[in-house]
Amino acid sequence: MNLILISCMMAILISIVLMTACSLISKKSILDREKMSPFECGFDPKSSSRMPFSVQFFLIAVLFLIFDIEIVIILPMIVTFNISSLSTWMLTIMMFMMILIMGLFHEWNNGVLEWAK
């Protein structure tokens, strides 16, 4: 127990020392208007370079990642079909698919999948 505690304290201490050293060594840049503005041949930009990001694109990306991970979870179930009993395997698949379908309907009811508003 003492060995684990000492190892954790050493890891935390090394992390703190490295973060402090990096912040002291790193180059500090002074933020001014010219450095923060986009380069347009020396002219002032016509519009803001900080365009607002659409939340709809972010939600679609998150949904894609969720369903992509779910496919990765489903693929090993095909391999375990021969190893496990049919009733256990079917119950697992049905529960997993039911959770997926309930999540899809929940997202649909909340309007996440609608583009035009």
Read off the pTM.
0.46
pLDDT score recorded for residue 40: 55
pLDDT score recorded for residue 35: 62
pLDDT score recorded for residue 75: 84
Q: Where are the domains of the chain?
A: 57-110
Q: How far apart are CA 67 and CA 74, in angstroms?
A: 10
Q: What is the mean pLDDT of each run of 10 residues along the chain (117 residues)?
A: 90 94 75 61 61 74 83 84 86 89 86 71
Among the listed residues 88, 93, 62, 63, the one whose alpha carbon sits nearest the alpha carbon of residue 76: 93
Sign of CA dihedral 40, 43, 46, 47: positive
3-class DSSP assignment, residue 48: coil
Among the listed residues 82, 102, 81, 105, the one whose alpha carbon sits nearest the alpha carbon of residue 93: 81
